[in-house]
């Protein structure tokens, strides 16, 4: 979902859940309209950097399912797809694949299934595609669009759990980045930004509870990224001021790489601090 559409949906979510008065609803609607005019609408398709990455840092090269690479799949929404990055090698999946190859000292074959605008209800189709050839390792980042489209927090978390379970049953090691804090998006004015933050953090906590029950590492994107993005918004956000830019994704990938490497090395349950 684009920033503009997300804001519009969030207004309806706030009204339906919070029981806003007519005056408060009008205030939030006006704020949303101003924020949408600042954020704008993306007009370019996300980049792609799938392929084979080598331990010497080179790649991507053409890949085959029959080679000896560690197969790594990226699933989720625009954050997983890397919307806002300026170049293919700045995509979070590309940075993670390159980092995994170097840290694990083996080739990594990246396949991206993430699609911008996806909600957790869309994750099933992505998992369907991934399970045609089950990956060794999968990273899932999902939830932001659930917040802005009034998806029930309980329903969203349960859907995530069911799709992660499918990956686990296929032998895939899974690491999940929980819902980011939408309160870091400065074009969203107050009090709308506080509403967005509250919803997103509640969803992240619900996601973590489900993942803990499955023994799946949950990386708190909100806790680990929010301070930097609030401190350095001009440096880490793309032109739409809603998605990270290449440098922002570099910072995020540096945070996500360690849990991915640990999950592959240890091959057991790992618990990471969450919201």
Q: What is the DSSP string of 176-192?
A: EEPPP-GGG-TTS-TTH
Q: Is the pLDDT of residue 231 over 70?
A: yes
Residue 53 φ/ψ region, left for φ over 0, alpha for ψ in the -120 to 50 degree band, beta for the rest: beta
Rounded Cα gap, residues 207 and 209, in angstroms: 6
Asked if 4 and 41 touch (Cβ cutoff 8 Å), the reply is yes
Sign, CA torsion 227/228/234/236: negative
Yes or no: say if 122 and 76 are a contact pair by the CB < 8 Å rule. no
At residue 45 the predicted structure's pLDDT band, cuts being 50, 70 and 90, is: low
pLDDT at residue 145 above 70? yes
User: Greater confidence, 8 or 212?
Assistant: 212
Q: What is the pLDDT of residue 193?
A: 87
pLDDT band at 38 (very low <50, low <70, confident <90, very high): very low
State pTM to two decimals.
0.84
pLDDT tens-digit series, residues 261-275: 999 986 533 333 333
> Rounded CA gap, 187 and 68, in Å?
46
Q: What is the mean pLDDT of the chain?
A: 85
Note the pLDDT of residue 10.
Answer: 53
Cα–Cα nearest to 176, from 127, 133, 232, 129: 127
Q: What are phi and psi of 93, to 5 degrees?
A: -65, -40
Catalytic residues: 78, 240, 243
3-state secondary structure of 232: coil
Question: Is cis: bond before 156, omega within 30 of 0?
Answer: no
Q: What is the pLDDT of residue 269?
A: 34
pLDDT, one tens digit per residue, over 169-192 is 999 999 999 999 999 988 888 888
The residue among 84, 3, 89 whose CA lies nearest residue 41 is 3
Strand partners, 10: none
The CATH superfamily of 3-266 is: SGNH hydrolase (3.40.50.1110)
Distance CA 6, CA 147 (A): 9
Q: What is the DSSP letter of 60?
A: -
The pLDDT of residue 66 is above 70 = yes
Predicted confidence band of residue 27 (pLDDT cuts 50, 70, 90): very low
| Pairwise CA distance, residues 244 & 144, whole Å | 14
- What pLDDT shows up at residue 150? 77
40 burial type by CB count under 10 A (0-12 exposed, 13-18 middle, 19+ buried):
middle
Q: What letter does residue 268 receive in the DSSP assignment?
A: S
78-126 per-position pLDDT tens digit = 999 999 999 999 999 999 999 999 999 999 999 999 999 999 999 999 9
Domain boundaries, the chain: 3-266
* Nearest-5° Cα angle at 264, 263 to 266: 65
Q: What is the mean pLDDT of residues 33-60?
A: 74
pLDDT score of 255 = 93
Cross-strand partners of 92 = none
């Amino acid at each position: 979902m684009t920033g503009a559409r997300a804001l519009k949906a969030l207004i309806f979510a706030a009204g339906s859940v919070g029981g806003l008065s007519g005056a408060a609803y009008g205030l939030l609607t006006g704020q949303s309209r101003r924020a949408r005019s600042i954020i704008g609408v993306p007009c370019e398709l996300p980049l792609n950097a799938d392929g084979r990455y080598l331990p010497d840092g080179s790649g991507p090269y053409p890949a085959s399912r029959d080679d000896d690479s560690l197969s790594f799949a990226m699933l989720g929404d625009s954050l997983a797809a890397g919307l806002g990055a300026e170049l293919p090698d700045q995509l979070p999946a590309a940075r993670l694949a390159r980092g995994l190859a170097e840290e694990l000292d083996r080739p990594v074959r990246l396949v991206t299934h993430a699609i911008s605008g996806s909600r957790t209800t869309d994750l099933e189709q992505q998992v369907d595609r991934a399970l045609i050839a089950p990956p060794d390792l999968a990273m899932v980042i999902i939830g932001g669009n659930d917040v802005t489209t009034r998806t029930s927090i309980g329903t969203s978390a349960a859907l995530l759990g069911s799709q992660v379970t499918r990956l686990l049953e296929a032998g895939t090691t899974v690491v999940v980045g929980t819902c980011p804090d939408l309160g870091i998006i400065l074009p969203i004015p107050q009090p709308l930004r506080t509403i967005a933050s509250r919803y997103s953090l509640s969803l992240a906590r619900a996601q973590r509870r489900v993942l803990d029950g499955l023994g799946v590492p949950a990386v708190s994107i909100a806790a680990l990224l929010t301070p930097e993005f609030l401190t350095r918004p001009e440096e880490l956000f793309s032109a739409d001021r809603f998605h990270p830019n290449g440098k922002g994704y570099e910072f995020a990938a540096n945070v996500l790489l360690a849990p991915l490497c640990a999950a592959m090395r240890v091959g057991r349950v790992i618990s990471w601090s969450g919201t």
